[in-house]
Structure 1
Amino acid sequence: MKTEKTEQVLNFCCEMGRQLIQNGAEIYRVEDSINRLLTAYGYRDTEVFAIPSCVILNILDEGHNYTKSIRIRSSFINLDKLERLNSLCRRVCRERPEPEAAFSLLDTISSASSYPQLVSYLAHGFVAIFFTLFWGGTALDACLAFLCGAAVKASVAYLSRFETNIFFTYVCSSMAMVLPPLILSYLGVPIHMDKMVIGAIMLLVPGIAITNVMRDVLAGDFLTALTKFAEVLIISMALAVGIAIPVSLARFFWGVI
């Protein structure tokens, strides 16, 4: 019976770690949350190792090692679910429910629907509007930048269905983002394409990842820092390639844009 409970706690903690990483939690927060959960259930001799693509957990209980690893293939930012997961972690540490009950609460959070599509499109569009204004665009540039933000959301949502890799996703999203100002410029609409592109590209810039790299370096977690830094470089290259392709083609066929 003790073995069964230990395995259930092991599975619950690993799944909690997976959900935290998939919804954008920092690695140190993942390891700290799992350690607190294990301590709450009375396990002292434990080891937790997490990187952005994997969580490995080991529990030494009565001379037996219980180990499990989980592969994480994709992650995104969902602050709503992240806040719920953090609240669940604190609740479990405080109340120490049975593992089955804790798993049920975790499944409720993980299966909850995300933000409505309309809200997501509006959010992407308004972010593009405000950043276009921030970088010196006109009111017309800002209003039309809404199309760029919507194009980013549409491309990311479509590609996520096929679980495409991060490089291809960002290349296609940046290409879709550049198409509206290119077409408007070709039609003679008096816009500042650079301001629109710079404003909309802020939707794709990995700002949180860059911040976490600095935090991990200061904390001495160099493996995680290198992993996230590689991700930042890959995303940066994808953005550059995705913007360069349609702009170069437009200049080749239409002349100077």
Structure 2
Amino acid sequence: MKLKNTEEFLNFCCEMGRQLIQNGAEIYRVEDSINHLMDAYGYQDTEVFAIPASVILNILEDGHNYTKAIRIRTSFINLDKLEKLNSLCRQVCRETPAPAEAMERLRSIAQASGYPQWSGYLAHGFVAVFFTLFWGGRLFDACFAFACGIAVKAATGSLSRMNTNIFFTYVCASMAMVLPPLALVYLGVPVQMDKIVIGAIMLLVPGIAITNVVRDVLAGDFLTALTKFAEVLIISMALALGIAIPVGLARLLLGVA
């Protein structure tokens, strides 16, 4: 029974780590949360190693090593689920329920439905509107930036469901964002294309990832920092390429400046 409980607890801790990383938690938070869980259940000789793509746990119990590693392929930012996961972690540490019961609570959070799809489109549209105004655009420009924000949401949502890689996703999303203002300029509509593009591109700029890179460097998690920094560079190149392709073709073929 001890063996079974230890393995169930190991499965719970790994799944907790997976859910934390997939919903945008920092690596130090993942390792710290799992360490608190292990301490609460009385496991003393433990090791936790987490990077954005994997979590590895080991428990030494009665001379036996119980080890599990999981692979994490996708991640996104969901602060609502992240707050619920943090609350569950504190609750489990305080109450120490059976691992099977704790796993059921975790699954209920993981399987809970998120915000309705229409709210995501509206949020993307209004964020593009706000940043267009923030960077000096007119209200007239902000109205068209709303459509660009919706285009970004449609592109990223469709491609994420197809499990495309991050580089292709951001290239396509940035191209979808640039095409509406390019079409307006070609039709002679007096919009400030640069303000619209700058406002809408803020939806794709990896600001949280950049912040986490700095945080990981200061914490000494250099491997995690290098991994996230590589992701930031890939996204940056994808954004530049996704904007340059339609703009360059429009100037070459249509004479749109």
TM-score, reference length from structure 1: 0.99
Displacement after TM superposition at 1:70 (Å): 0.5
Displacement after TM superposition at 1:83 (Å): 0.5
Structure 1 counterpart of 2:30, one-letter code: V
- Quote the Cα distance in structure 1 between the aligned partners of 2:15 and 2:217: 26
- Quote the Cα distance in structure 2 between the aligned partners of 1:112 and 1:156: 21
- Quote the Cα distance in structure 2 between the aligned partners of 1:200 and 1:66: 48
Q: Secondary structure at the match of 1:232?
A: helix
- Residue 176 of structure 1 is matched in structure 2 by 176
Q: Are positions 1:28 and 2:34 aligned together?
A: no
- Quote the Cα distance in structure 2 between the aligned partners of 1:66 and 1:193: 58
Structure 1 counterpart of 2:97, one-letter code: P
Q: Deviations over 1:76-127 (max 9, x none)?
A: 0000100100010010001111111101100100001111111000000000
Q: Deviations over 1:31-83 (max 9, x none)?
A: 00000111111101000000000000000011100000000001000001001
Q: Deviations over 1:130-185 (max 9, x none)?
A: 00000000001111100110000000110011111110110010000111111111
- Quote the Cα distance in structure 1 between the aligned partners of 2:31 and 2:130: 36
Q: Secondary structure at the match of 1:49?
A: strand
- Residue 223 of structure 1 is matched in structure 2 by 223
- Residue 249 of structure 2 is matched in structure 1 by 249
Structure 1 counterpart of 2:113, one-letter code: S
Q: Deviations over 1:160-219 (max 9, x none)?
A: 111111101100100001111111111111100000000000000000010011111111
Structure 1 counterpart of 2:133, one-letter code: L
Displacement after TM superposition at 1:256 (Å): 3.3
Aligned length: 257
Q: Unmatched 5+ residue regions in structure 2?
A: none
Q: Unmatched 5+ residue regions in structure 1?
A: none
Q: Are positions 1:83 and 2:83 aligned together?
A: yes
- Residue 39 of structure 1 is matched in structure 2 by 39
Which consecutive segments of 4 or more residues in structure 1 shift more than 3 A? Answer: none
Farther off after superposition, 16-25 or 184-193: 184-193
Give the 5 Å matches for 1:166-245. 166-245=166-245
Q: Secondary structure at the match of 1:76?
A: coil
Q: Secondary structure at the match of 1:55?
A: strand
Structure 2 counterpart of 1:122, one-letter code: L
- Residue 95 of structure 2 is matched in structure 1 by 95
Structure 1 counterpart of 2:223, one-letter code: L
- Quote the Cα distance in structure 2 between the aligned partners of 1:141 and 1:194: 10
TM-score, reference length from structure 2: 0.99
Q: Contact (CA 8 Å) 2:186, 2:256: kept in 1 or not?
A: no
What's the RMSD between the two structures over aligned residues? 0.6
Displacement after TM superposition at 1:252 (Å): 1.3
- Residue 139 of structure 1 is matched in structure 2 by 139
Structure 1 counterpart of 2:158, one-letter code: Y
Structure 1 counterpart of 2:117, one-letter code: Q
- Residue 18 of structure 1 is matched in structure 2 by 18
The change in CA–CA distance for 1:13 and 1:26 in structure 2 (over 3 A counts) is same
Give the 5 Å matches for 1:62-141. 62-141=62-141
- Quote the Cα distance in structure 2 between the aligned partners of 1:245 and 1:39: 53
Q: Are positions 1:54 and 2:36 aligned together?
A: no
Q: Secondary structure at the match of 1:77?
A: coil
- Quote the Cα distance in structure 2 between the aligned partners of 1:256 and 1:28: 48
- Quote the Cα distance in structure 1 between the aligned partners of 2:59 and 2:165: 33
Give the 5 Å matches for 1:160-171. 160-171=160-171
- Quote the Cα distance in structure 2 between the aligned partners of 1:180 and 1:171: 15
Structure 2 counterpart of 1:180, one-letter code: P
